[in-house]
Structure 1
């Protein structure tokens, strides 16, 4: 499905360029109105990132998110600085349908395995953000500031034994650029890991990108900047996906 994305920093909708907080763009959008329109057109899921919570867990924007949940019936998955079971419980109690786990997948592997068992594969999404060098897909964490020695394939293999279902995979070099997604990456991992429902994210700039990802076999496409900047409408994206 098509999953519109919204990043929030200090209460405002923003986009970062390649994850850089020094390269931030603000958007003046009536979110309530926009989500009503999305709901009418058939959007089933949203993706929200708490950039304030990612930088500092004490600054998690819980009141803002509680407000968003109160005025939309669209299911929402949320990520950003989620590091403890308490974090997960708070967000699920607020009404979020899926929790997106990033850095902890690398730094607390056994804990994340326990979460997959406890909450089930339908509630947990692993966010694996990668830099590709010499065809090696190295995972970066901590808001993409730290590159690890773990590869994308290693981590998917590691968590597949825990019935892993959802993986949000982002090529960092593409994120926020509107330069098109890394089609080769998704083609490769969709073929290799047929049991995973991949969420493709980063670089989507036009309807042709949407169509190509659908043909590759990606289950979900997360679209942020293109929709915010009206490169195409949500209606056009949904139609493209359905008819692809």
Structure 2
């Protein structure tokens, strides 16, 4: 059982650790070429789970970094959840064979719900996480975007979740895209609203974490995980600090 919900994140392009600003491949920051060492460091510092994004595979399925991912998972003693352009059951099978604990499904959850609902039935709700990227609308609802946030925006977050619930949905990773990469804090109101509406779901928060106070602000929001990437890579916070500042740690 997790004592803390902090989940360090590594985004990978061509074997390099990178961060994209609000999903833009043209606004990329490089952090070095040894993701395995970084993953092992996070494990040694007390992380209980690792979040990986294969950005090369997301952009081009032929460039999926399967060999690196397999090596990293074998060398890292943490359960690893991984996403990035999952387009087929073959992609899921390959990553599960590589040792992934959970597979993160993004754009296809919006574009092809029948397919993803079938995957939930096939693989089970504990194997899949729906990554839902949202933006607030003027009407007070949150709308779901996809394809690097360039498309979508017509379906509400609540409608999408409701459509998946009968098919065994258990885990969602929700990002307010206006916060991603900004280091200005997470949208705590969003996560409180989600937890109130769907208390049975495991909700991971993503986007905006830039300080320990941002982590503390999520106490009581009901999240089961907090994805933290850039703040750790930039040295704004350490994983040890993040782990110990969580009220229930």
Q: What range is the shorter-chain TM-score in?
A: over 0.9
Q: Which residue of 2 aligns with 1:79?
A: 83
The answer to whether structure 1 residue 44 and structure 2 residue 56 are counterparts is: no
Match of 2:71 among 59, 67, 72: 67
Bigger shift: residues 5-14 or 209-218: 209-218
Structure 2 residue runs of 5 or longer lacking an equivalent are none
Q: Does the 8 Å CA contact 2:216/2:247 hold for their aligned counterparts?
A: no
Match of 1:105 among 109, 112, 118: 109
Q: Does the 8 Å CA contact 2:16/2:35 hold for their aligned counterparts?
A: no
Task: Please provide the CA RMSD for this pair.
Answer: 1.3
Deviations 1:144-180, CA, capped at 9 Å, x for gaps: 1112311110111111111211000000111011011
Name the SS for the 1:7 alignment partner. strand
Q: Does the 8 Å CA contact 1:54/1:143 hold for their aligned counterparts?
A: no
Name the SS for the 1:65 alignment partner. helix
The answer to whether structure 1 residue 213 and structure 2 residue 218 are counterparts is: yes
- Which whole-Å CA distance do the structure 1 matches of 2:15 and 2:40 have between them? 20
Aligned residues, how many? 244
The answer to whether structure 1 residue 163 and structure 2 residue 168 are counterparts is: yes
Runs (4+) off by over 4 Å: none
- Which whole-Å CA distance do the structure 1 matches of 2:242 and 2:71 have between them? 27
Q: Does the 8 Å CA contact 1:3/1:43 hold for their aligned counterparts?
A: yes
Deviation at 1:232, TM superposition (A): 1.1
- Which whole-Å CA distance do the structure 1 matches of 2:111 and 2:47 have between them? 34
Deviation at 1:16, TM superposition (A): 0.7
TM-score by length of 1: 0.96
Q: Which residue of 1 aligns with 2:246?
A: 241
Q: Does the 8 Å CA contact 2:39/2:50 hold for their aligned counterparts?
A: no
Q: Which residue of 2 aligns with 1:31?
A: 35
Match of 2:153 among 142, 148, 152: 148
- Which whole-Å CA distance do the structure 1 matches of 2:129 and 2:246 have between them? 22
- Which whole-Å CA distance do the structure 1 matches of 2:77 and 2:194 have between them? 32
TM-score by length of 2: 0.94
Deviations 1:177-220, CA, capped at 9 Å, x for gaps: 10111111111111111111100000001111111212212111
Structure 1 residue runs of 5 or longer lacking an equivalent are none
Deviation at 1:29, TM superposition (A): 6.0
